[in-house]
Amino acid sequence: MTAFPPVSLWMDQLGAPPPARAPLSGEREVDVAIIGAGYTGLWTAYYLKRQAPQLRVAVVEAQIAGFGASGRNGGWLIGELAGEDRLLARLEAQQRKESRVLLQDIPDEVGRVVAREAIACDFRKGGGLYCAARYPEQQTRLRRQLDDWHRAGHGTSDYAWLDPAELAQQLHIAGAYGAVHFAHLATIHPARLVRGLATCLERLGVDLYEHSPALELTPACVRTPAGMLRADWIVPAIEAHAIGLPPLARCQLAVQSLMIATEPLPPGLWRQIGLEQGQAFSESSRLVSYGQRTADNRMVFGARGGYRYGGRLRQDFVLTPDEVEQRRRLLVDLFPPLAGARITHAWGGNLGVAREFHPHMVCDPERRLAWAGGYGGEGVGASNLAGRTLADLILGRDSRLVRQPWVVPADALRNWEPEPLRWLAYHAISRSFAVEDFLLSRPATPPWLRRLSQHWADAMERLMEPPVPAP
Ligand SMILES: Cc1cc2nc3c(=O)[nH]c(=O)nc-3n(C[C@H](O)[C@H](O)[C@H](O)COP(=O)(O)OP(=O)(O)OC[C@H]3O[C@@H](n4cnc5c(N)ncnc54)[C@H](O)[C@@H]3O)c2cc1C
């Protein structure tokens, strides 16, 4: 049995692979059975055991802990949620403020736990730099977004504008027009966090079974090929993989995200780029490009993704030469000194997007199910919040965590439209974003065409996410 199938740079860096944990065999009775050993499942187990050490908690994982997005992501640990502004706009001003404090504290909460539990995962809270770098319209859009954030109640200590000279003190990105600095963001080594959490849970008395896929989800029972867990509560924590486990399939859709990493780069090269304090950076294309400087001085860069008809998972993440080259070219456009840097790793993963384009945390007391997901590419931090929230829901605690707008009853979740609508919409939207990028990055594009491409992309974006109601 292979302990570590090729997954990502991060999993490669763990050193000699420990033997895979034993699969579940036979029948066992527990209080809480968790399906999936990614961040959501492991954080839920962690907060359950910390609050109620007597609980019997078991986790079954189809592959190995961290095999999913949790062992593959870009390591941005963000103190916000995807779609947060829309979620919070429904609240009274005071409640909105309290919810925001809760979200902004996520990186610090993870920092506190990894310090307490001695999980060495390169945690660095250096903030995020959202850069306008490829064409002037990015600056206009980013400034508009900054105004929206400030109007919604964020301060300049949360989101602040950096002009090109101020940005250059942190990051040298080609042709910068400025950036927004977001304070509540840390970077981590994704695999060290997820594998460290798994080890920590075993110390706390959680049983973790690898190579144990849940075959079906029925009330009070999780069946795997060689065993069965009978449980009072079941937590399916499988995000993008929900398609394989009805009845969760239709409220969350799998999309793919792809990444590359360079070799460790010499100090001279880093002096030309910056990122000395563990900052993360992104470039403001609507197609999303982002990265971080790793603790061992590589550049890790993620850009673009994909969607498969029917929301099928992509299983093979050995990237094609074209997929690697497309990302390498984007990276070198932003950082010309990296033209000669060797790309040593390329990988990708599946992540989950909810129909509402914001995460959900759900408790169904009748079926004794609790689950969370739909993080939309911002699940590193959100899954920590989800773990705390699901633990409180299961323990029946009336905490401030369970009184948040993203905690919803199961019947409030919207299903995705049937195919071929999803496939057509995905391709229409991503094509409009790619055309906008292409036209705006060419100085020769006439002004009327620049405006048209933006209006078209704006309309497509609205199709995806309705505008935020005024607070
Ligand atoms: C390439 C990439 C880059 C990303 N970058 C970022 C980022 O920088 N910042 C950010 O916030 N988010 C990022 N994300 C998203 C983030 O990684 C995920 O939202 C988060 O890790 C989800 O955690 P999870 O535990 O819910 O799911 P996963 O980590 O996917 O874990 C689910 C686990 O369930 C297992 N499983 C599936 N089916 C079964 C079954 N039937 N039985 C048992 N086990 C099963 C899987 O093997 C897997 O290990 C990225 C995602 C990808 C793919």
Q: Measured between alpha carbons, how far is 253 from 243 in angstroms, rounded to an integer?
A: 7
pTM metric for this prediction:
0.96
**Which pLDDT score is estimated for 250?**
76
Candidate from 10, 70, 103 with most ligand 1 atoms within 8 A of CB, to mutate:
70
Cβ burial, residue 49 (10 Å; 0-12/13-18/19+): buried
Alpha-carbon distance of 196 to 119, in angstroms, equals 5
Ligand 1 pocket: which of 123, 216, 241, 324 to mutate (most atoms <8 Å of CB)?
241
- 112 alpha carbon – ligand 1 mean position (Å): 22
For the CA of 65, the closest atom of ligand 1 is 49
**Which residue has its alpha carbon closest to ligand 1 atom 16?**
379
CA gap 175, 87 in Å, rounded = 35
pLDDT of residue 219: 83
Q: Which atom of ligand 1 has the smallest separation from the CA of 71?
A: 29
Distance from residue 212's CA to the centre of ligand 1 (Å): 17
DSSP string, 252-288: EEEEEEEEEEEPPPPHHHHHHHB-TT--EEEE--TT-
Which amino acid does the sequence have at 302? G
Q: How far is CA 77 from the centre of its chain?
A: 8
Whole-number Cα distances in Å, 150 to 133, 153, 154, 158: 22, 5, 5, 9
Residue 225 pLDDT: 97
Atom of ligand 1 nearest to the CA of 194: 29
CA angle 156, 103, 86 (to 5 degrees): 80
Q: Cα(368) to centroid of ligand 1, in Å?
A: 23
Hey, how many other C-beta atoms are within 10 angstroms of the C-beta on 264? 16
Report the separation in Å between the CA atom of 150 and the middle of ligand 1, taken as the mean of its atom positions: 31
For residue 470, the model assigns a pLDDT of 56
Beta bridge partners of 274: 171
Alpha-carbon gap, residue 379 to 325, rounded angstroms: 27
Distinct helix (H) and strand (E) counts, the chain:
13, 19
3-class state of residue 56 by DSSP:
coil
Residues contacting 451, CB < 8 A, separation 6+: none
Strands (E), 294-330: 299-306
Burial of 64 (0-12, 13-18, 19+ CB in 10 A): buried
pLDDT of residue 216: 86
Query: Quick one: tokens of 135?
Result: 């064409």
Q: What is the pLDDT of residue 19?
A: 83
**CA distance linking residue 379 with residue 382, whole number of Å:** 5
Beta-carbon contacts of residue 246 (< 8 Å; ≥ 6 apart)? 217
Query: What's the DSSP call for residue 375?
Result: B
DSSP of 139-191: HHHHHHHHHHHHHTT--TTTEEEE-HHHHHTTB--TT--EEEEESSEEE--HH
Q: Among 253, 380, 385, 388, say which to mutate for ligand 1: greatest number of ligand atoms within 8 Å of CB.
A: 380
Of 424, 420, 130, 154, nearest in space to 286 by CA: 130
Distance of CA 407 to the CA centre of its chain: 18
The kind and range of the H/E element at 234 are: strand 227-236
Q: Which of 24, 40, 73, 188 to mutate to test the pocket of ligand 1 (most atoms within 8 A of CB)?
A: 73
Which letter, b or e, does each residue of 107-146 get, where b requires 16 or more Cβ atoms within 10 Å of its Cβ? Answer: beebbebbeebebebbbbbbbbbbbbbbbebbbeebeeeb
User: pLDDT tens per residue, the chain (471 residues)?
Assistant: 344 457 999 999 998 777 889 999 999 999 999 999 999 999 999 999 999 999 999 999 999 999 999 999 999 999 999 999 989 998 999 999 999 999 999 999 999 999 999 999 999 999 999 999 889 999 999 999 999 999 988 999 999 999 999 999 999 999 999 999 999 999 999 999 999 999 999 999 999 999 999 998 888 999 999 999 999 999 999 999 988 777 777 788 899 999 999 999 999 999 999 999 999 999 999 998 999 999 999 999 999 889 999 999 999 999 999 999 999 999 999 999 999 999 999 999 999 999 989 999 999 999 999 999 999 999 999 999 999 999 999 999 999 999 999 999 999 998 899 999 999 999 999 999 999 999 999 999 999 999 999 999 999 988 777 666 555
Q: What integer pLDDT is reported at residue 1 of this predicted model?
A: 39
pLDDT of residue 331: 97
pLDDT, residue 3, reads 44
Which pLDDT score is estimated for 218? 84
CA 264 to centroid of ligand 1, rounded, Å: 26
Rounded Cα gap, residues 198 and 367, in angstroms: 27
**Residue keyed to tokens 């400025």:** 178
Q: Which atom of ligand 1 approaches the CA of 75 most closely?
A: 8
Distance from the alpha carbon of residue 455 to the mean position of ligand 1, in angstroms = 34
Cα of 409 from ligand 1 centre, angstroms: 23
Residues 187 and 127: their CA atoms lie apart, in Å, by: 8
Cβ atoms of residues 31 and 341 within 8 Å = no
Which residue's CA is the nearest one to ligand 1's atom 10? 378
Question: Closest residue (by CA) to atom 32 of ligand 1?
Answer: 238
81: alpha, beta or left? (left if phi > 0; alpha if psi -120 to 50): beta
Q: Which residues line ligand 1 (CB under 6 A)?
A: 35-41, 60-63, 67-70, 72-76, 78, 213-214, 237-241, 244-245, 257, 259, 302, 348-349, 351, 373, 375, 377-381, 383
Question: Distance from CA of residue 449 to its chain's centroid?
Answer: 34
Instruction: Tell me the C-alpha distance between 216 and 247, whole Å.
Output: 10
Q: Supply the pLDDT for residue 202.
A: 97
What residues contact residue 312 under an 8 Å CB cut-off, 6+ apart? 243, 254
